[in-house]
Amino acid sequence: MEQFIRLELPNLQLLLPEMVVLLTGFTLFSLDLLQRRINHALAVSVSLVGYLIAIFLLVFNWGAKGETFYGLYRRDEFSSLMQAFMLLLTLLLLGFTYTYYKSKRSLFGEFYYILNFALVGGMFLVSSYNLVVLYVALEAVSISFYILTALLRSDFNSKEGALKYLMLGGLSIALASYGAGFMYLYSGSLDLRYILTHVGQNQYFLVLGLVLFLIGFAIKIGAVPFHFWLPDAYQGAPTPITAYMASVGKLAFFAPVVRLMPYVQEHFSYAWITTVGVISAITMIYGNLVALVQKDVKRLLAYSSIAHSGYIMAGISVSEVIGLKAVIYFLLAYSLMGFGSFIVLALLEKVPGWENRLEQFSGMRFSAPWLAFSFMVILLALLGVPPTVGFVGKALVFMALSFEGLWWLAFIMIAATGISTGYYLRITALMFMKEVNGGLGLNASGLERSLLILIAVGVVLLGAVPIILWNFVSLSADNLFVR
């Protein structure tokens, strides 16, 4: 009897948002090649149209679920939610970049399509269990970030940060690749779900592969002791790009770990809880202690980002669905808070002589009240003060830890949050309780003011009415735990 191989046509409807964003990137690339000097207004317009169409397709097909390209790509509630946030944050970023790069005399046409390719890589990174797709997407995001970090003219710190990021980023990808290789040797499959649901005897290759694979992602998310690249890269990068790495980058690099959670915990629960919990505790304490002694606010926020990676990992250590819900919610919450905090610095860096020193924030409520108020709201959210989204995120992680009985980690989280009070409230006190330290001379457009205030309002609204986000998060987590 003849055997026929049945080839199914891929369901491109599931892939439409990524296809639109990819097409937008190639359009921007072509414009940069064809025009001797790119028209930035045209580049921004093309980007906006592409991203808005992608968001429309996501919303229009929100209930769509399934796999295509023979399991290489998966569309589910989790991928749609993460991609929606990535697209919205990218749209917000475009509102701040032109004037920033113009003030730094670093307007390059490459910025638009490299940013686009970083977004495409991130969208694929949150939407697959396949090791090859994850590798290619990880490379796309990482290489784009290396270039964007170095994209400041005549700025040594930018080049130094990009070099450190490149070296440790390359190491992380190499480790993740070796890990993938060992997992393939163990199972003969490239699908993480198959690998982790067919666990048998002689698990040496599997355990070694998982450890290397997860260390590769730990470097990317800045977990201690794999964090050394992050402060220099964040400080040296153009500040809008720092905001993008701290938001979209966090979403992209954490997503594969989130997808792994239900499968790894099923077979390696005790080892997972212990290992991730210890790394989480060290990351929270170290990030906040080092941030406490920083005089440069941009570097301070970089260490704060490390600490928040620790908070997210605390939720990852929980082997129940409530832990997954807490992680997804906190990831989305921090993406908005982290983005807003660095965007404030991006606006201030357009002021001549601004160096992000703590004392320069003295009396800002007099010289730029709208900026001081927005920054205060974002800082309080990062601290976890109600009714902000940061409070809800930390409360969910604490609740998840209590469900698991991880009280030691919950108390370390409270202690780490207490340490962070010292530097978040110090900046707030400088802005509102000190006299003006010279004229600020901030020249921000109406669009920039409106977008920053919108971010601050969103930080409060999503915390005051958490059900807006919770329904999407809850559904995503429940479906990730379904076998």
pLDDT score, position 439 = 65
- Between these two residues, 7 and 280, which has the higher pLDDT value? 280
Asked which of 31-40, 116-125, 463-472 is least confident by mean pLDDT, the reply is: 31-40
Helices (H), 107-203: 110-125, 131-149, 156-187, 192-197
Give the dihedral sign, CA 120/122/126/128: positive
Q: Is the pLDDT of residue 483 over 60?
A: no
- Mean pLDDT taken over the chain: 88
pLDDT tens digits, residue range 358-395? 988 888 888 888 999 999 999 999 999 999 999 999 99
Give the pLDDT band (50/70/90) at residue 6.
low
pLDDT score, position 280 = 94
Give the pLDDT band (50/70/90) at residue 103.
confident
- Between these two residues, 35 and 140, which has the higher pLDDT value? 140
pLDDT tens digits, residue range 399-411? 999 988 889 999 9
pLDDT score, position 1 = 41
Give the dihedral sign, CA 454/456/459/462: negative
Q: Is the pLDDT of residue 5 over 60?
A: no
Share of the chain above pLDDT 70, in %: 97
- Tokens linked to 31: 């414009």
pLDDT tens digits, residue range 129-162? 999 999 999 999 999 999 998 888 777 778 888 8
pLDDT score, position 4 = 45
Between CA 375 and CA 359 the distance in angstroms is 15
Backbone φ/ψ region at 113: left (φ over 0), alpha (ψ -120 to 50), beta: alpha
The C-alpha torsion from 418 through 422 and 427 to 432, rounded to 10°, is: 90
